[in-house]
Structure 1
Amino acid sequence: MSTLSEKSCIPCQGGVPPLPLDEKLQLKDQIDPRWSFSNDKKRLCLELTCEKFEQPMAIANEIAKVADEQWHHPDLYISFGKLRVDLWTHKIDDLVESDFIFASKIDQILKSHKL
């Protein structure tokens, strides 16, 4: 069985049903515990605090590169020493497996930055 980070995101064409809550919870257990759900459980959210302004910028740039490779694009918010990532499948305004796959790829980036 492969881990989430070894899988590739599948671009959504719309019309795909969102994951049921029990599957969302099961997949969330496979990513960094710092990820949280939005109140409506339709988005994954991650907030990081860093020591310097350039660190969240560097991480955001790495995420952007993987986002283009995987064709899965989160919303990124950068402020002084902070990075927030909101992740969901825009076409259906909810979560599918690819969102959790991409979250695990972000987790790998964070590990490389020792965060």
Structure 2
Amino acid sequence: MAQEDLAARRCEPCRGGVPPMDRGMAEDYLVQVPGWTLKDQPMRIERDFRLPDFAQAQAFAAQVGDLCEAEGHHAEIHYGWGHCTVAFWTHKIKGLHENDFVMAAKVNGIADAPYVPASVGTEPPPYVQGKA
């Protein structure tokens, strides 16, 4: 399954009662989400994204948060000047589920899109263009 295939999927609600992925299966999925690493305690996937400044790190964190809310699968997000760390694991099963990799692929899609500040694409006021 390619990363694009994972990113196109929706998260399925996990109600618990299923075992978390074992490390071997997690490593198989990990190759489909470039940049992510496997961590322990709990077993989770994590990626640190580098951004040019605080504003862009904050905007990226907000985009990831919006995605998580829309998908109903929430990340652990930490950001500061020039970086944003995102981690996924399925809390109900205290480990990894396919949904975590689906979300990682979707976050990679956000990171791969060029950052465009909210002010870009709007017509500047006339005084900026020398018309006032």
- With normalisation by structure 1, the TM-score equals 0.90
Aligned length: 113
Alignment counterpart, residue 25 of structure 1, candidates 17, 24, 27: 27
Q: Please identify runs of 4+ aligned residues in structure 1 that moved more than 6 A.
A: none
Correspondence 1:46-61 to 2 at 5 A: 46-61=47-62
Deviation of 1:39 (Å): 3.5
Higher normalized contact order (CA 8 Å, seq sep 6+, divided by chain length):
1
1:47-97, Cα deviation, whole Å (9 max, x unpaired): 122111011111111111111111000010011111111110011110000
CA RMSD of aligned residues (A): 1.7
| In 2: Cα distance, 1:29 partner to 1:12 partner | 23
The alpha-carbon deviation at position 98 of structure 1 amounts to 0.3
Map 1:56-71 → 2, pairs under 5 A: 56-71=57-72
- 2:81 alignment counterpart: 80
* Structure 1 unmatched runs, 5+: none
Q: Which blocks of at least 5 consecutive residues in structure 2 are unaligned?
A: 116-132
Residues of 1 paired with 2:82 and 2:60: CA distance?
A: 11
Normalized against structure 2, the TM-score is what? 0.79
In structure 2, how many angstroms separate the alpha carbons of the residues matched to 1:28 and 1:72? 18
Which one has the largest radius of gyration?
2
User: Percent of counterpart pairs with the same letter?
Assistant: 29
2:43/2:95 contact within 8 Å kept: yes
